Structure 1
């Protein structure tokens, strides 16, 4: 009798999980991201929306919730029902927030179940075509000769672009001054106008200007050259040994989402990323490399990135928010 009772209890415990697996998804899914409509994150979200809708059999509706470097959207995802019907698209800024902010309403790691990374992409250190530094070594020599005499522009304080510039300063022993702008396009405009001599920008935005000869790419921030800018050396090639800055994008859901739903979503994401049409679209949108992961690998990435940027912030003396 005891054995029968135990078996019944065991089946009852399993029932919610089985039921979840069978019924999910049973309504449209929200896909939240924390950046402006029309930007790279929004473009990626719409590619993912289409790919997952086809695989899950429910509409995946993109919702942009810009503000605080993606923190508002991440907070909204963290506080959503953990049932798989709210997914967050996050970028490298997600890990930086864990390093930069004194206090967040959520934990970048512990408030979520990770699903998978999607794409990694490099940045590029660039100058105007008529600037006297022809190589990254030239730029470093100029910056060392004039401490605090050179500035570099980025998309904003606390961005991966900003911290890539600070890591360049730390690695090369320079003191270039950061000038924050509101978005990539404004950094390009200011560079071309001569308002700032150096920028750290996204490869996909700068590729056209570099190909046209208006802007010179001195180095990409990944360990190897990129497909989008094959003629621009990596920072390591240019002499900065160990320099590696790649931002990334990935997907996550609220903490407590059932494991069977997490597994289902990871499986469908891997299928989507293996689709040549989706792969090409994501790589075109970012100038990067599509690469999926397990939930555990994505969690380890965010933890390692948070530690990395925390050290850079400390070493550069950047005030925490």
Structure 2
């Protein structure tokens, strides 16, 4: 072979090498989504470890890990009604490796706080809803009111003499109680506690005559006979507490309060990754084992969604709870 042909061949090979290098360096749309995930994914929530949201997050993490074939860990970042966690997620890199599990309290914060360090809707990319679940109005079993109707009559006969406990100021439980007060036309004092466990303990100790609690956590006390469930806050009875009537059945027609949980990501997370996560969530929710664990963890309805459907839910929930907060004259934080 001549020196010229060798030279030409060398130049061709060099050009091919450069072309391959350049091609591999080009950021092709969707390429990052196709390579995702290739390291640990983190789900952040804003509630205490061991609580309902924490248990729910861990079931969701297990489901995603199976579908995505990657490790998914859970980080509890409690404080400020879930706002610390939401802020951390909003400010995380939008690469699909930091996700947030939020509940109905995320919508309440938008109406309860004068300002937030993040945008409750526009600061995130929605992935999917996970579950919906009712709360329960409960008294100690030896309380004189045996039904919700009797409790309302007692509150009307003695205005301001009753109180109710909840998991905290500004929680869905608190505002469900405020909505119940407005619907029934009664004056009942709200007493906030740090979580369901403290509220249930206060009820059993007689510190408060009633609570609005998370059904799955109050259910064991109802089953033991220590606590009486007066009503669940959904429009129909709960499968978890089939013997407890709904508030609607108890006489307050149209009353329907259910909280929910869903998964979201920081604003700017690539659409391809959001689509992949949504598909993984929906497949996970269809898994009988994961579905059964979710139902056991929260005692509600397992239901996924599209990202736009979750955005619509969050927007409507913000409008609803802002109206309740304003009507109840709850001071903004």
TM over 0.5: yes
1:145 aligned to which of 154, 157, 172: 157
Instruction: Give the whole-Å Cα distance in 2 for the aligned partners of 1:258 and 1:16.
Output: 12
1:101-140 map, 5 Å: 101-140=113-152
Counterpart in 1 of 2:303? Answer: 291
Counterpart in 2 of 1:87? Answer: 99
Instruction: Give the whole-Å Cα distance in 1 for the aligned partners of 2:232 and 2:72.
Output: 34
SS of the aligned residue for 1:17 comes to coil
Counterpart in 2 of 1:230? Answer: 242
Instruction: Give the whole-Å Cα distance in 1 for the aligned partners of 2:271 and 2:34.
Output: 13
Give the superposition deviation at 1:15.
Answer: 5.3
| Superposed structure 1 runs of 4+ greater than 2 Å apart | 14-18
Give the superposition deviation at 1:21.
Answer: 2.5
Give the superposition deviation at 1:130.
Answer: 1.3
- Superposed CA RMSD in Å reads 1.5
**Is 2:213 the counterpart of 1:204?**
no
**Is 2:315 the counterpart of 1:315?**
no
Counterpart in 1 of 2:181? Answer: 169
Counterpart in 2 of 1:8? Answer: none
What 5-or-longer segments of structure 1 have no aligned partner? 1-10
Counterpart in 1 of 2:81? Answer: 69
Give the superposition deviation at 1:17.
Answer: 2.2
Instruction: Give the whole-Å Cα distance in 1 for the aligned partners of 2:194 and 2:40.
Output: 33
Counterpart in 2 of 1:270? Answer: 282
When Rg is computed on C-alpha atoms for both structures, the one with the higher figure is 2
Superposed CA deviations along residues 42-76 of structure 1, whole A, max 9, x for unmatched, are 11111111111121122112111111111111111
Superposed CA deviations along residues 242-261 of structure 1, whole A, max 9, x for unmatched, are 11111111000011111111
SS of the aligned residue for 2:324 comes to helix
Q: Is the 8 A contact 1:143 1:174 kept in 2?
A: yes
Q: Give the total of aligned pairs.
A: 310
TM-score, normalised by the number of residues in structure 2: 0.91
Instruction: Give the whole-Å Cα distance in 2 for the aligned partners of 1:167 and 1:310.
Output: 12
Instruction: Give the whole-Å Cα distance in 1 for the aligned partners of 2:106 and 2:180.
Output: 21
Give the superposition deviation at 1:16.
Answer: 3.1
Q: Is the 8 A contact 1:17 1:258 kept in 2?
A: no
